[in-house]
């Protein structure tokens, strides 16, 4: 099996990659258990039905709007966002750094490649896990659901590119979900799927590093 799988319908690889955008959950960190704790505490706060793992896991990463609709119908989206901001930092230690994340970000910086986070997590939650795992100083910018419409809307991708003075033509976006893929496609950015199909597919950050080096 090849290290990297490229779809037959893929965009061509950018000739000169100058920016790499990353999703957070499932790409740089595994924060599923941290978010499970956060949603359970949020349910308690709003008097919503208790959430078990089997009902949570298929919805992980769907974003605040969908979470509110699925689990917290008696609360507003803004109230859910505030609860996440307040509760997630206390659960951030349960997130696990994925192998190769630090070394990849360090290598990109050494090679003059600009990096940014593009996540549906609220800003305070994203910043908490970045600080907890030592990634905050390795990224040049962060675009979160606090800053604009959630993915698959392309707005956060555009915002991140603006923040790092990048362009869609020389950027790639690394994500692990159909919402990531949809946002990248809508923004005209080459999409690298970690564990899912994209313009190219990789299974690990180590494979991603090899793919970037091969250019």
- Looking from the CA of 200 toward its CB, the CA atoms found within 13 Å total 20
In this predicted structure, the answer to whether residue 77 has a pLDDT above a threshold of 90 is yes
DSSP letters spanning 78-110: HHHHHHHHHHHHHHGGG-EEPTTHHHHHHHHHH
- What is the arithmetic mean of pLDDT over 97-106? 98
Other CB atoms within 10 A of residue 41 CB: 17
Whole-model pTM? Answer: 0.91
Residue 133 φ then ψ, to 5°: -105, 5
The predicted structure's pLDDT at residue 5: 59
State how far the Cα of 112 lies from the Cα of 134, in Å rounded to an integer. Answer: 20
Helix, strand, coil percentages for the chain (3-state, nearest 5): 50, 15, 40
- What is the arithmetic mean of pLDDT over 79-100? 95
The predicted structure's pLDDT at residue 170: 98
Note the pLDDT tens digit of each residue in 24-57: 999 999 999 999 999 999 999 999 999 999 999 9
CB 7 within 8 A of CB 198: yes
State how far the Cα of 22 lies from the Cα of 139, in Å rounded to an integer. Answer: 10
pLDDT band at 169 (very low <50, low <70, confident <90, very high): very high
State how far the Cα of 131 lies from the Cα of 133, in Å rounded to an integer. Answer: 5
CB 208 within 8 A of CB 179: no
């Amino acid at each position: 099996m090849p290290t990297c799988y490229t779809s037959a319908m893929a965009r061509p690889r950018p000739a000169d990659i100058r920016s790499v955008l990353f999703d957070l959950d499932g790409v740089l960190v595994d924060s599923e258990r941290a978010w499970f704790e956060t949603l359970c505490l949020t349910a308690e706060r709003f008097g919503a039905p208790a959430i078990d793992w089997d009902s949570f896991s298929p919805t992980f990463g769907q974003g605040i709007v969908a979470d509110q609709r699925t689990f917290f119908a008696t609360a507003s989206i803004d109230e859910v966002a505030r609860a996440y901001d307040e509760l997630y930092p206390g659960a951030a230690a349960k997130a696990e750094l994925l192998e190769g994340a630090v070394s990849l970000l360090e290598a990109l910086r050494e090679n003059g490649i600009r990096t940014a986070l593009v996540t549906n997590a609220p800003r305070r939650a994203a910043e908490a896990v970045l600080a907890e795992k030592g990634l905050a100083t390795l990224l040049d910018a962060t675009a979160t659901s606090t800053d604009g419409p959630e993915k698959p809307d392309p707005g956060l991708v555009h915002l991140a590119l603006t923040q790092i003075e990048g362009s869609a033509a020389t950027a790639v976006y690394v994500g692990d979900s159909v919402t990531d893929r949809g946002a990248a496609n809508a923004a005209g950015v080459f999409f690298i799927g970690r564990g899912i199909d994209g313009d190219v597919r990789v299974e690990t950050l180590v494979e991603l590093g090899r793919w970037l080096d091969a250019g």
